Amino acid sequence: MKKELVLEIIQERWSPYSFSSAPVEDFKLKAMLEAAGYAPSCNNEQPWVFVYSTQQDSEVFNEYIGFLAEANQIWARHAYAIIISMARTKFSFNGKTNKYAFHDTGMAVSNLLLQAFALDIYVHQMAGFSTEKVKEYFNLGDDLEPVAIMAVGYIGDGLSIPPELFKRDEKRRPKKTVNEFAFKNALSHPAF
């Protein structure tokens, strides 16, 4: 059900399985990453790091696809771009653990998703990948942690993925109502 005051792009955004391999313009990818950079962060640390590849660099792109669980490879390999999000887990000013690094990287990703959607670009995030493979490939130390991998592109016609996966794209995924996750004064008291 539509929420009257919630921004349209927030309500309409969704994560498809069917992607078109059509190129996403560089200016759109740039705008998405720039939007990510506007996110708030603990101590303004901006701990997020993004590395991406597109089908135009097929060798690297396929290496990225190889990081994914097989169930994700099936559909994600058709997307035009793959973006890997990482988080710097130590504060730059004192070297101590930044326990908000993942939180803040998630906020940057949220900006990226919404900016993408406003430009007609879809993003599907994945936790189903091997962090070990990513760490090894990029030679990461323990201060830079892979967070998620995103498939990015224009919406597809469903022909390149198994029908049962495309079927999932027919319906939007259900969301909890606000009173299921928001409370007023006490956790036993629904917010509205």
Ligand X SMILES: Cc1cc2nc3c(=O)[nH]c(=O)nc-3n(C[C@H](O)[C@H](O)[C@H](O)COP(=O)(O)O)c2cc1C
- In the complex, which residues of this chain contact ligand X (CB under 6 A)? 14-15, 72, 125-128, 148, 173
Query: For ligand X, which is the closer residue by CB, 14 or 91?
Result: 14
> Of all residues in this chain, which one has the CB nearest to ligand X in the complex?
128
Q: How far is the CB of 20 from ligand X (least distance, A)?
A: 17
Q: How far is the CB of 165 from ligand X (least distance, A)?
A: 9
Query: For ligand X, which is the closer residue by CB, 29 or 126?
Result: 126
Distance CA 48, CA 109 (A): 9
Query: For ligand X, which is the closer residue by CB, 13 or 91?
Result: 13
- Of 67, 70, 73, the C-alpha closest to 140 is 67
Q: How far is the CB of 68 from ligand X (least distance, A)?
A: 8
Residue with tokens 């879809």: 122
Backbone φ and ψ for 145, nearest 5 degrees, come out as: -115, 130
Q: 3-class DSSP state for residue 129?
A: strand
- Of 60, 47, 64, 52, the C-alpha closest to 26 is 52
Query: For ligand X, which is the closer residue by CB, 23 or 128?
Result: 128
Q: Please answer whether residues 9 and 123 qualify as being in contact, where contact means their C-beta atoms are separated by less than 8 angstroms.
A: no
Q: How far is the CB of 30 from ligand X (least distance, A)?
A: 23
